[in-house]
Structure 1
Amino acid sequence: MASNSNYLLVAAIDFGTTYSGYAFSMRHSFEKQPMTIHANQAWNAGGKQLLSLKTPTCLLLDSNKQFDSFGYDAEDKYAEIVMDKDQDNYYYFHRFKMCLHKNKKVSLEMLLEDITGKSMPAIDVFALSIMALKNHLMGSLVTQGTGVESSDIRWVLTVPAIWTDNAKQFMRESAEKAGIPKDKLLLALEPEAASIYCQYLPTDKLTGIEPGFTMSEPGTKYMIVDLGGGTADITVHEKLSDGCLRELCRATGGDCGGTGVDAEYIQVLIKIVGAPLIELMKRENPESYLDFIREFETAKRNRPSDNKKVNMIIPFTTLNTLCRTHLKEDFKTAIASSPFSNSIVIRGDKIRIDVKVFKKMFEKTVENILQLIRDIIIFKWKSHARSIKFSLLEAVRREFSNCRVVIPFDPGLSVLKGAVLFGHKSDVISSRISRFTYGISFNPKFDPAVHDKKHRRLSDGVWRCKDAFDKILEKDSVIPIGTTTRRKYTTQTNVSRIWFRKEL
């Protein structure tokens, strides 16, 4: 944890599954106007204009595994490299953050495969990506003439609350390898950062509120639903009289982020032209495939009208050529003979999708998110369920009609800007709920009143219980921030002592 209070600026890096970005604010600005937070607004998306102040989480390395480019630059350059058939001399990684969520054995020795199957240490991929964002931020500070040096910065890196301790530690190690000193580094849990942001946001920047409402009133209990590219992260907070927030139930979530909607979109296309042809476009025409995905990214952020079709520009020439070559029919004919013959049409270089088909792409992901919320309200938080008044999630309006849904202004930057605020005031979270039970395996003297006889073992003339579990912290326990637990253990082979210390 960052212990050095000597800083002039807080810089936060929101490292996402699909998009990443950074934001910062000066210490003196926070003291006078906390919401004066700057985010980069100059990411170059090539020929496409996306409604995002972030850049894709994509990393391109050369044949020596040295940094080449990151973000939109990496996407566009790799598309050219593939067209020149030079991809064997490069490493291209994208959407790799989820490996830390899905892999139960996260370690510093873990390997990652790039898009062509070439592997390298995962920590290098993460460290080089964090370094790219860090260097871009430093360049921006120089351009703006802030006079701030790297040593003047307190850094904050966002991580999902539902990640394991190993995954969170892996991100910390990656940040340190990227050149961020450990005494200047804080990890911010993504839903907590969003919660902090909403505490500072003026009420006129919140939609769904009623006159007189404020998020900062002591005693207010609310659920934060952070919807990212890879995961949904959910936690429940209560505002305390001293201005701090306390967690009311342990963070939960799952892999039901925006990439699930992307996958459904690809499945629609697969039902029209087949998976082999989509893979062929991805390999041989990556620039067209990127345009295809970027256009959907823009479309899925706009709320469609119930009586209109969703229009998107597609790489029609590429798709039509691929269909004629490999399917022996043009793209329009492929659509006409597919399950979507009555719901998808082509007009020039645009695809027009019936709004019902478009909305159906969201159903699975939305249902998974709603189920996570039900689990908290019905099963995991029974004693507080009736106290929930505000949920930051548009999708729950119909499902939970007795809850008020509040959406912050510019929700895509809520976590990022909240992480900056957390960097200035890291003691704002007063307590958390333990997601796991922690303990140590040990071999105490066998006690027939306590231990099962089948675990009895003779060791150095003493009957012991093999692999007993000394519980240090129980799941769902309330943990005040800064809590330290100490236990003393003695080895069986000598008199040396082992001290266990867990900072919570």
Structure 2
Amino acid sequence: MRKKSDIRVVVGIDFGTTYSGFALASVANPDTIETNEAWPGIRGQLKTNTVLAYDEELNVVKWGNPALSEKPSKKRPSSSSDKKLQKPVELFKLHFSNLDKNEKPPLLPGLDYQKAVADYLCEMGKLIKKTLETRWPGLDFYKHVRVVVTVPAEYNEYAKGTMRTCIYKAGLLDTLNSDKLEFTTEPEAAAIYCIRVLKEYSLKANDAFMIVDCGGGTTDLTTRKFTAAGRLEEMTENSGEYCGSTFVDREFLKFLARKLGVGAIAKLREHHYSQLQYLLQEFCLSVKLRFDGERETFQTHDLDLEDVCPTIKKYVVGEALKTMEDAEWLIELDFDTVKEFFDKVLVRILKLIKLQLMKTEYPCSAIFLVGGFAQSPYLLKRVREEFNSKVSYIAVPIEPIASIVRGAVYYGLDMDIVRTRVLKRTYGIDITRNWNEDDPINRRVSGSVIDVFQPLAIRGSKVEVNQKFTCILHPSFPEQSIISFPIYTTDRDSAKYCDEDGMKMIGKLTAELPDMHLGKDRPIEFSLTFGKIEILATARNLISGQVYETSFDLEYLD
């Protein structure tokens, strides 16, 4: 297992689809967490925009809020320096997803999403290191700082491995496999944060509560309970889907395309991306963030395209041009139109919550909405309408936008707080046994034996930290001197063979088999032990006592 480190400071990073932030705390003073509010170009906000501005050579020129576009001006021409900037790059975190290619945001020519992620984290890393130097001069970042990065619940092992590589390239690790990096899922971090508000809702030890983390790109859910011993137990397998607040923006853009023409929006995106971006900002500030779903108090909003996006006029043609000229380039956003933007996304979030409740063994006492989208009053209204009869408390904790990053710091300060997790995959090994008449004839190999998958830990199982799963095996033939244990994982609950679709070998453990005079009577105990951040595979010769071990990072496997 990994050796202990001299950790003095914990930094939590919430790298989000639309907004990102970081927080930090000293191990010597764990009750005081500082959430950064000083960003380039803006102060007083808990997060900054996940946006990059590149020059023509793909060097980062601006990041965060300064990379956003300003309101278009009819009087002030673009400066020569502005012309050197390419269009801002945003939403690049969605390239980690399994969305269809046409659903992922476009990137600049020659720019891949991993470089964008590494570039953004590099810029944030510079600010983090500067902040640490201000607070604790002389602190050795690579020796004394633990970095905890939150990731969506649905990230697979490839996505997490890619994220680790990006973090290393960003300069936040001195080696790729540094033990100073920890991952926790976004809903798990939020659950850790929400522990501190349970008493406000009269929740007791062992009451189940659900975290619904509504971000820009994803909505992630987990159901937990806080034990009397002060530890978190996961009650069900966490879940998630790509249905965050940016998908409301997409519905708005589809609406504009119907009004102005698909070609007009496409040309605006291609040639004047800054104005398209500003148009979206105006919609979010004036309409999306204010919409509460109350028809009686809703005021129709007129979006003046001549003011917020004047360039669009030269791309609108045909009947759409005549219609917009008659409307004096005003787009009317009435109640039903705006409600439809939301409902196409919220129906998916409500379905996720319903499925999560169905999977929970015990009654759920509370639902906490966290993340940036949790600030939407209409989201809270719809969740309460749907689930108030089933759940006693449905609430948004104080500063929900910072709940994940602060929870990440709490986790880094006390990693023992998580007692159990529910496995999202099945783990086992490839074994050889005698072939019998019920087995497929085409799978019989020489000597009338067959290779099969032997599951040890099943998807959906609740696993305690350092829980061990074991099996006893013997040599396949008397003269066998070495035994190998190919270790496989699958997202299916069950599997019979290691070459089935979805099966993946994550490693191999080899052990020596002395005492061949004993023939097959040489038992070997094989086990998988699930630690906080890794799986330990062990083979123990029950006669000689010899032990063989190898480990695999959980962040690459879950």
With the shorter chain as reference, the TM-score category is 0.7 to 0.9
Spell out, residue by residue over 1:411-454, the C-alpha distance to the aligned partner (whole angstroms, 9 max, x if none). Answer: 11111111111111111110101111123445x24420563323
Task: Give me the whole-angstrom Cα distance separating, in 1, the residues matched to 2:147 and 2:303.
Answer: 40
Conserved 8 A contact 2:195-2:226: no
Q: What is the identity, as a one-letter code, of the residue corresponding to 1:322?
A: I
Task: Give me the whole-angstrom Cα distance separating, in 1, the residues matched to 2:463 and 2:345.
Answer: 32
Compared with structure 1, are the counterparts of its residues 251 and 319 closer, same or farther at alpha carbon in structure 2 (3 Å cutoff)? same
Task: Give me the whole-angstrom Cα distance separating, in 2, the residues matched to 1:335 and 1:426.
Answer: 61
Indicate the residue corresponding to 1:340 in structure 2. Answer: none
Conserved 8 A contact 1:63-1:91: no
| 1:96 Cα deviation from its structure 2 partner | 1.8
Indicate the residue corresponding to 2:299 in structure 1. Answer: 309
| 1:291 Cα deviation from its structure 2 partner | 1.2
Task: Give me the whole-angstrom Cα distance separating, in 1, the residues matched to 2:215 and 2:475.
Answer: 46
Conserved 8 A contact 1:319-1:331: no
Compared with structure 1, are the counterparts of its residues 273 and 85 closer, same or farther at alpha carbon in structure 2 (3 Å cutoff)? same
The answer to whether 1:237 aligns with 2:233 is no
| 1:254 Cα deviation from its structure 2 partner | 0.9
The answer to whether 1:464 aligns with 2:464 is no
Q: What is the identity, as a one-letter code, of the residue corresponding to 1:140?
A: T
Conserved 8 A contact 1:43-1:53: no
Task: Give me the whole-angstrom Cα distance separating, in 1, the residues matched to 2:166 and 2:315.
Answer: 45
Secondary structure in 2 matching 1:183: coil
Conserved 8 A contact 1:21-1:55: yes
1:334 is aligned, of 316, 324, 329, to: 324
Indicate the residue corresponding to 1:252 in structure 2. Answer: 239
Task: Give me the whole-angstrom Cα distance separating, in 1, the residues matched to 2:247 and 2:213.
Answer: 15
Conserved 8 A contact 2:428-2:454: yes
Task: Give me the whole-angstrom Cα distance separating, in 1, the residues matched to 2:237 and 2:335.
Answer: 37
Secondary structure in 2 matching 1:102: coil
Conserved 8 A contact 2:89-2:108: no
The answer to whether 1:277 aligns with 2:276 is no
Spell out, residue by residue over 1:305-354, the C-alpha distance to the aligned partner (whole angstroms, 9 max, x if none). Answer: 533325476552574553355416787833868xxxxxxx967xxx5521
2:90 is aligned, of 86, 90, 94, to: 94
Indicate the residue corresponding to 2:372 in structure 1. Answer: none
Secondary structure in 2 matching 1:316: helix
Secondary structure in 2 matching 1:98: helix
Indicate the residue corresponding to 2:544 in structure 1. Answer: none
Task: Give me the whole-angstrom Cα distance separating, in 1, the residues matched to 2:311 and 2:164.
Answer: 47
Matches within 5 A, 1:288-367: 288-298=275-285, 299-304=287-292, 306=295, 307-311=297-301, 314-317=304-307, 319=309, 322-323=312-313, 326-327=316-317, 333-334=323-324, 352-367=332-347
Conserved 8 A contact 1:65-1:91: no
2:115 is aligned, of 111, 124, 148, to: 124
The answer to whether 1:422 aligns with 2:411 is yes
Matches within 5 A, 1:105-184: 115-120=107-112, 122-143=113-134, 148-150=139-141, 151-181=143-173, 182-184=178-180
Compared with structure 1, are the counterparts of its residues 295 and 482 closer, same or farther at alpha carbon in structure 2 (3 Å cutoff)? farther
Secondary structure in 1 matching 2:66: helix
The answer to whether 1:53 aligns with 2:53 is no
Compared with structure 1, are the counterparts of its residues 370 and 8 closer, same or farther at alpha carbon in structure 2 (3 Å cutoff)? same
Task: Give me the whole-angstrom Cα distance separating, in 2, the residues matched to 1:312 and 1:10.
Answer: 47
Compared with structure 1, are the counterparts of its residues 254 and 3 closer, same or farther at alpha carbon in structure 2 (3 Å cutoff)? farther
Secondary structure in 1 matching 2:97: helix
Indicate the residue corresponding to 2:443 in structure 1. Answer: 455
Question: What is the identity percentage for the equivalent residue pairs of Structure 1 and Structure 2?
Answer: 25
Q: What is the identity, as a one-letter code, of the residue corresponding to 1:481?
A: V
Could you state the TM-score of these two structures normalised by the residue count of structure 2? Answer: 0.73
1:479 is aligned, of 437, 440, 463, to: 463
- CA RMSD between the two structures: 3.6
Spell out, residue by residue over 1:85-125, the C-alpha distance to the aligned partner (whole angstroms, 9 max, x if none). Answer: 656xx696421212222179xxxxxxx995344344x4433
Spell out, residue by residue over 1:134-176, the C-alpha distance to the aligned partner (whole angstroms, 9 max, x if none). Answer: 1122223345676544243211111012211221222223222
The answer to whether 1:12 aligns with 2:19 is no
The answer to whether 1:371 aligns with 2:355 is no
Secondary structure in 2 matching 1:360: helix
Task: Give me the whole-angstrom Cα distance separating, in 1, the residues matched to 2:442 and 2:7.
Answer: 58
Task: Give me the whole-angstrom Cα distance separating, in 2, the residues matched to 1:190 and 1:426.
Answer: 15
Compared with structure 1, are the counterparts of its residues 185 and 65 closer, same or farther at alpha carbon in structure 2 (3 Å cutoff)? same
Task: Give me the whole-angstrom Cα distance separating, in 2, the residues matched to 1:490 and 1:128.
Answer: 51
Task: Give me the whole-angstrom Cα distance separating, in 2, the residues matched to 1:91 and 1:288.
Answer: 10
Task: Give me the whole-angstrom Cα distance separating, in 2, the residues matched to 1:431 and 1:366.
Answer: 30
Q: What is the identity, as a one-letter code, of the residue corresponding to 1:457?
A: V
Structure 2 portions without partners, runs of 5+: 73-77, 370-379, 485-507, 510-536, 538-549
How many residues in Structure 1 have an aligned counterpart in Structure 2?
459
Compared with structure 1, are the counterparts of its residues 197 and 310 closer, same or farther at alpha carbon in structure 2 (3 Å cutoff)? farther
Compared with structure 1, are the counterparts of its residues 486 and 202 closer, same or farther at alpha carbon in structure 2 (3 Å cutoff)? closer
| 1:19 Cα deviation from its structure 2 partner | 1.4
Compared with structure 1, are the counterparts of its residues 201 and 375 closer, same or farther at alpha carbon in structure 2 (3 Å cutoff)? closer
Which has the greater radius of gyration? 2
Indicate the residue corresponding to 1:40 in structure 2. Answer: 37
| 1:496 Cα deviation from its structure 2 partner | 6.4
2:193 is aligned, of 197, 211, 216, to: 197
Of structures 1 and 2, the one scoring higher in RCO (CA 8 A, sep 6+) is 1
| 1:13 Cα deviation from its structure 2 partner | 1.0
Compared with structure 1, are the counterparts of its residues 187 and 389 closer, same or farther at alpha carbon in structure 2 (3 Å cutoff)? same
Task: Give me the whole-angstrom Cα distance separating, in 1, the residues matched to 2:237 and 2:228.
Answer: 21
The answer to whether 1:72 aligns with 2:65 is yes
Compared with structure 1, are the counterparts of its residues 237 and 113 closer, same or farther at alpha carbon in structure 2 (3 Å cutoff)? closer
Secondary structure in 1 matching 2:280: helix
Task: Give me the whole-angstrom Cα distance separating, in 1, the residues matched to 2:134 and 2:191.
Answer: 32
Secondary structure in 1 matching 2:290: coil
Spell out, residue by residue over 1:460-488, the C-alpha distance to the aligned partner (whole angstroms, 9 max, x if none). Answer: xx23325x222132111111123466788
Secondary structure in 1 matching 2:179: helix
The answer to whether 1:433 aligns with 2:422 is yes
Secondary structure in 2 matching 1:246: strand
Task: Give me the whole-angstrom Cα distance separating, in 1, the residues matched to 2:415 and 2:325.
Answer: 54
Task: Give me the whole-angstrom Cα distance separating, in 2, the residues matched to 1:2 and 1:224.
Answer: 30
1:407 is aligned, of 389, 396, 413, to: 396
Secondary structure in 2 matching 1:28: coil
Conserved 8 A contact 1:273-1:323: no
Q: What is the identity, as a one-letter code, of the residue corresponding to 1:39?
A: N
1:390 is aligned, of 366, 382, 385, to: 366
Could you state the TM-score of these two structures normalised by the residue count of structure 1? Answer: 0.80
Indicate the residue corresponding to 2:500 in structure 1. Answer: none
Conserved 8 A contact 2:51-2:64: yes
